[in-house]
Structure 1
């Protein structure tokens, strides 16, 4: 088995066996990575790579938005609005090549990721 095949299998197994809280953090990690690469690509003048990464980031945010139960907690509607804002910002960043918008979305994504990571750790730490 090749190194790439082993890596793909590891990632697939990790996703398949991860609890929902861990999956959420994994999504945010990928979102932040996409945004980092998009920003770097814009800085280097590589609009094609930047565009692909921004589109993938939009897909992740749309999935987060689609699976958000806005009735589960009082902050749900606000988070849904934030997701919509982030998608709009990424669309505009992609159209205009505006790195500062990508960085702004990345900042929000990092803060959300860190908050969810902390919440997941508390849930795991509390145990059954």
Structure 2
């Protein structure tokens, strides 16, 4: 038998509009950035690696879903690539500053996306 919370979470993902899914990805990336930062500060390299890989996976998913028929997609891809480079460096060197820079960029994307969703309503 499934945990009711897990069932709810899965259903919310399966039924969410595309814009909301993107917002969920940004929020997930920010959550994992925070967890990675805490793990680095606690000097837990294994746990920080796990969280940083999760953030990288989300950034990869966001990159894959870019619609290249819009000119802004190329700019976003460059920024996603830069974020990914920061995350790789943060992971290799356990560098909190690189992680915070990546997190700041992700937060800007998330905040902008929230405004786009609000404007469509």
TM-score (normalizing by structure 2): 0.95
Q: Is the 8 A contact 1:39 1:50 kept in 2?
A: yes
2:59 is matched with 61
CA distance in 2, matches of 1:105, 1:90: 7
RMSD: 1.1
Structure 2 unmatched ranges of 5 or more: none
2:104 is matched with 107
Deviation at 1:70, TM superposition (A): 2.5
Kindly tell me the number of residue pairs found equivalent between the two proteins: 121
1:51 is matched with 49
Structure 1 unmatched ranges of 5 or more: none
Partner of 1:11: helix, strand, or coil? helix
Larger Rg: 1
1:89 is matched with 86
Stretches (4+) displaced over 4 A: none
TM-score (normalizing by structure 1): 0.90
